[in-house]
């Protein structure tokens, strides 16, 4: 990145296949000129000056819109960015120059070279200097004035930050992460309790729309971490952290919390609470209210309503719910795990919205992870999930959690368009709800709307940089969009973050296979949740033209029916059998892999066959 001194001397900035002439405000590309004026020009200059770094919306407001109201600034910045993208032919969905950092700002991602040229000649070859008192060319004044103004604003901002520390003024907090509260009981069976209080605090803080609150998925990896506050905050891209402990005795609960700003590191608040276990709900509400007050933000009216509703929950039911939530994070069959706890919670408190929403999620998992290839099991599980999710929404029309559960259940029941409405409503109620965004990106992929799915999943990945179960949606979207090199790179980043996240290897193996890297694909599938089953092996061999070996595997496993055996049969010339198996899987069993019939490259060999189109039509996926 160039220094400000270099920028003063420079008359042009070069990046990608563009030049920006600072003297005229013109963008130059392949000899064509486009004039940028006003705020779009100033925004671009600031982004170029800070190339590779995040320029926050707050910095842009301070430096370029200092006298505007928030609404005017917000509209002005969005309009300026839109004009820039149009001029640079840089779409938001697949940006190569201006990266949107959700709820934070923007980053210019290309390398910038500052060039001191004038009239096509290097600065060193300019005509000799004129007498001492000659006027400088206008472009020098323009470029110099712009950079000096930016320098002055930066100095003022730094001084304000320094003064705030000296004077004890609390810095503004716009993003927060709640780290897993430590269980001090020395009883592993109480882990659910500490984790439950952590997760509920995250949920309650999300009722303040001024805050970006990271999900449990983003913070659980820092449980017991020895990293410093600034180091964790840097990885999570947040302004501050909440840490603490939980100690549950026979009849009492003690919770300590501390709020620490990351830049500079400074403890802003600490408190200790002790309540009877029967008063846990009121304690949860007080934790959230006190934390909100310390961060100088406000609960929304809907948020206050939610806290009021939470205060009415039966304490025993709430404890059962916390145990169920702990088990639900293990994405497996739930009949003998979360579901019994949730059944007891609902018996104890028949109006417990969150318990119904969690039950919807648990039964949906049962449909996915329960007995495979069973029409009765899958459809009954999904129907049960939908009934519970709908009950949650009926109980509370303002619950993002309820709508997220409903959207997921509707997806499972192949009611695609209704699912989209429910998930968008969940995000509207709580923009911090990451699961609603993840499910929405998957639903959009299933409907063939890949560009929108990539955009939403990319924003989700940026907002949750270390949350594997959320970032994986982006890898899936890249793969379904045929962006194989990017999908492989994203999967490799996820594997580096967590080599044991087995579902990542399924996307990784698929992308490697599409690139013809079959040995690597086989190794990736072998690491996945499925392992190398005979269907995957037969499909990989058929893809490589090794027909005899593929036929032998299929013959030895004649009763095996899954999407890859169906495609393998089709590739080997047994088209009728392959299509019959696929129809059975998609429209009888509702096999989850077939939800991606419209976009999964695996089905490309069948895609131009009218019989394949009829199978997809029966699923309802063609109805956008």
Residues 160-196 have pLDDT tens digits of 444 344 334 455 788 899 999 999 988 888 899 999 9
Please write the tens of the pLDDT for every residue from 412-453.
999 999 999 999 999 999 888 999 999 999 999 999 999 999
What is the distance of C-alpha 429 from the center of its chain?
A: 17
pLDDT at residue 92 in the model: 62
Is residue 10's pLDDT more than 80?
A: no
At 130, list the tokens: 């004129």
Please write the tens of the pLDDT for every residue from 96-134.
788 888 767 888 888 888 876 433 434 333 333 333 333
Q: Give the SS3 label for residue 27.
A: strand
Is residue 299's pLDDT more than 80?
A: no
At 230, list the tokens: 């600034």
Is residue 37's pLDDT more than 80?
A: no
pLDDT at residue 365 in the model: 86
pLDDT band at 66 (very low <50, low <70, confident <90, very high): low
Report the alpha-carbon distance of residue 389 to residue 379 in Å, rounded: 15
Residues 77-102 have a mean pLDDT of 80
| Cβ–Cβ < 8 Å for 394, 347 | no
Average pLDDT, rounded, for the chain = 83
Q: What are phi and psi of 533, to 5 degrees?
A: -80, 165
At 620, list the tokens: 């309802």
Is residue 540's pLDDT more than 90?
A: yes
pLDDT at residue 415 in the model: 93
pLDDT at residue 125 in the model: 36
pLDDT at residue 122 in the model: 44
Q: Domain 4-125+136-155's class?
A: mainly alpha
pLDDT at residue 288 in the model: 86
User: Per the CATH hierarchy, to which homologous superfamily does domain 175-298 belong?
Assistant: ABC-type transport auxiliary lipoprotein component (3.40.50.10610)
Nearest alpha carbon to residue 185 among 275, 285, 252: 252
Residues 338-344 have a mean pLDDT of 95
Please write the tens of the pLDDT for every residue from 546-596.
999 999 999 999 999 999 999 999 999 999 999 999 999 999 888 888 999
Q: Give the SS3 label for residue 4.
A: helix
Helices (H), 370-517: 375-395, 400-412, 416-429, 434-446, 450-463, 468-480, 484-497, 504-514
Answer yes or no: pTM beyond 0.75: no
Higher-pLDDT residue of 123 and 327 is 327
Q: Report the percentage of the chain scoring pLDDT > 70.
A: 85
pLDDT at residue 432 in the model: 83
Higher-pLDDT residue of 96 and 515 is 515
pLDDT band at 377 (very low <50, low <70, confident <90, very high): low
Q: What's 460's DSSP letter?
A: H
Please write the tens of the pLDDT for every residue from 257-268.
999 998 888 888
Q: Give the SS3 label for residue 588.
A: helix
pLDDT at residue 1 in the model: 39
pLDDT at residue 254 in the model: 92
Strands 182-183 and 175-178: unpaired
Q: What are phi and psi of 537, to 5 degrees?
A: -65, -45
Nearest alpha carbon to residue 326 among 311, 345, 302: 345
Burial class (CB in 10 A: 0-12, 13-18, 19+), 306: buried
Nearest alpha carbon to residue 565 among 591, 598, 528: 591
| Cβ–Cβ < 8 Å for 334, 363 | yes
Higher-pLDDT residue of 210 and 152 is 210
Peptide bond into 380 cis (omega under 30): no
Rg (CA), the chain: 28
Instruction: Tell me how crowded residue 395 is: count the other CB atoms within 10 A of its CB.
Output: 18
pLDDT at residue 438 in the model: 94
At 392, list the tokens: 């949650």
Q: What are phi and psi of 98, to 5 degrees?
A: -105, 110
pLDDT at residue 371 in the model: 54
8-17, 79-88, 217-226, 515-524: least confidently modelled range:
8-17
How many CA within 13 A on the CB side of residue 450?
17
Please write the tens of the pLDDT for every residue from 143-157.
454 544 454 444 444
Report the alpha-carbon distance of residue 193 to residue 183 in Å, rounded: 8
Domain ranges across the chain: 4-125+136-155, 175-298, 533-624
Strands 175-178 and 212-213: parallel
Q: Report the percentage of the chain scoring pLDDT > 90.
A: 46
Report the alpha-carbon distance of residue 314 to residue 371 in Å, rounded: 34
Strands 240-248 and 175-178: parallel
């Amino acid at each position: 990145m160039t220094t400000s001194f270099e920028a003063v001397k420079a008359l042009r900035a070069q990046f990608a296949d563009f030049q920006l002439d600072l003297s005229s405000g013109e963008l130059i590309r392949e000899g064509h000129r486009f004039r940028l004026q006003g705020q779009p020009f100033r925004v671009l200059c600031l982004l170029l000056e800070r190339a590779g770094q995040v320029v926050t919306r707050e910095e842009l407001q301070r430096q370029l819109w200092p006298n505007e109201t928030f609404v005017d600034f917000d509209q002005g910045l969005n309009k300026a960015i839109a004009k820039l993208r149009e001029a640079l032919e840089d779409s938001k969905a697949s940006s190569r120059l201006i990266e949107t950092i959700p709820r934070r700002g923007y980053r210019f991602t290309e390398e910038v070279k500052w060039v001191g040229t004038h009239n096509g000649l290097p600065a060193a070859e300019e005509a000799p200097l004129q007498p001492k008192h000659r006027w400088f060319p206008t472009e020098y004044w323009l470029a110099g004035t712009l950079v000096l103004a930016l320098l002055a604003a930066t100095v003022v901002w730094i001084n304000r930050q320094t003064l705030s520390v000296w004077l004890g003024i609390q810095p503004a907090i716009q993003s927060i992460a709640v780290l897993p509260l430590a269980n001090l009981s020395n009883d592993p069976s109480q882990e659910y309790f500490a984790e439950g209080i952590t997760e509920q605090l995250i949920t309650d803080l999300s009722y303040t729309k001024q805050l970006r609150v990271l999900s449990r998925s983003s913070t659980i990896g820092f449980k017991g971490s020895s990293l410093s506050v600034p180091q964790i905050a840097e990885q999570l891209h947040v302004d501050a952290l909440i840490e603490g402990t939980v100690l549950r005795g026979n009849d009492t609960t003690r919770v300590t919390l501390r709020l620490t700003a990351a830049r500079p590191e400074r403890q802003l608040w600490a408190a200790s609470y002790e309540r009877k276990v029967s008063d846990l709900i009121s304690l949860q509400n007080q934790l959230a209210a006190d934390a909100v007050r310390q961060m100088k933000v406000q609960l929304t009216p809907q948020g206050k309503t939610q806290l009021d509703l939470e205060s009415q929950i039966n304490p025993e039911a709430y404890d059962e719910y916390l145990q169920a939530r702990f088990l639900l994070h293990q994405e497996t069959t739930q009949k003998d795990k979360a579901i019994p706890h949730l059944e007891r919670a609902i018996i104890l408190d028949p109006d417990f919205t969150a318990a119904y929403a969690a039950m919807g999620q648990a039964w949906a998992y049962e449909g996915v992870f329960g007995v495979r290839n069973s029409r009765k099991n899958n459809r009954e599980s999904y129907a049960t999930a939908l009934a519970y999710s709908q009950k949650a929404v009926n109980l509370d029309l303002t619950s993002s959690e309820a709508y997220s559960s409903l959207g997921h259940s509707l997806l499972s029941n192949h009611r695609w368009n209704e699912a989209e409405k429910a998930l968008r409503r969940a995000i509207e109620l709580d923009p911090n709800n990451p699961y609603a965004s993840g499910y929405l990106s998957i639903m959009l992929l299933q409907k063939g709307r890949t560009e929108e799915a990539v955009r939403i999943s990319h924003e989700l990945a940026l907002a949750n940089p270390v949350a594997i179960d959320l970032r994986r949606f982006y890898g899936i979207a890249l793969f379904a969009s045929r962006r194989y090199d990017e999908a492989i790179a994203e999967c490799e980043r996820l594997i580096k973050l967590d080599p044991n996240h087995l579902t990542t290897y399924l996307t990784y193996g698929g992308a490697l296979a599409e690139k013809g890297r079959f040995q690597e694909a086989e190794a990736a599938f072998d690491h996945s949740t499925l392992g190398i089953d005979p269907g995957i092996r037969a499909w990989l061999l058929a893809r490589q033209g090794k027909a005899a070996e593929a036929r032998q595997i299929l013959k030895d496993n004649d009763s095996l029916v899954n999407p890859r055996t169906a495609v393998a049969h089709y590739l080997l010339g047994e088209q009728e059998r392959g299509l019959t198996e696929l129809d059975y899987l998609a429209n009888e069993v509702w096999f989850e892999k077939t939800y991606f019939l419209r976009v999964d490259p695996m089905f490309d060999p069948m895609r131009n066959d009218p019989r394949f189109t009829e199978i997809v039509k029966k699923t309802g996926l063609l109805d956008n």
